[in-house]
Amino acid sequence: MPRPQSADDIRRAMLRRWMQDNDRAPAWVARRIGYTREYVANVLGGRYPFTAKLTRACEEYLGIDFGYVGTKDDDQGDVEPAGVALVGA
């Protein structure tokens, strides 16, 4: 029986689909939303969580509608992994 997808997996798939549909690379997405290329690549690779802050940035700057999977109950615990540098921060 296949494992159910997590909300992070669904958001990753939605971002990948948006990138494919809009012919955009992770580096372009990173510049547009204000994150480093490495961070976006690590999120897409599943090594970092798809945080609520990143979800909001994708919704605001890219216009992606994550719908119900765009909400997180644990915004209080929305901490970026150590070493994550926001561009311009």
Can you give the CATH number for the domain in which 30 is found? 1.10.260
Confidence grade of residue 31 (pLDDT, cut at 50, 70, 90): very high
The confidence score (pLDDT) of residue 76 equals 42
Residue 18's domain comprises: 14-71
Which residue type occupies 68? Answer: Y
58 assigned to some structural domain: yes
The confidence score (pLDDT) of residue 78 equals 53
84 assigned to some structural domain: no
Give φ, ψ of 49 to 5 degrees.
-70, 155
The confidence score (pLDDT) of residue 5 equals 84
Q: Above 80 in pLDDT, residue 33?
A: yes
82 assigned to some structural domain: no
| Structural domain total, the chain | 1
Asked whether the CA dihedral 45, 62, 8, 19 is positive or negative, the reply is negative
Confidence grade of residue 47 (pLDDT, cut at 50, 70, 90): very high
54 assigned to some structural domain: yes
86 assigned to some structural domain: no
The confidence score (pLDDT) of residue 42 equals 97
19 assigned to some structural domain: yes
Among 37, 25, 18, which residue's Cα sits nearest to residue 87?
A: 37
49 assigned to some structural domain: yes
Provide the whole-model pTM: 0.75
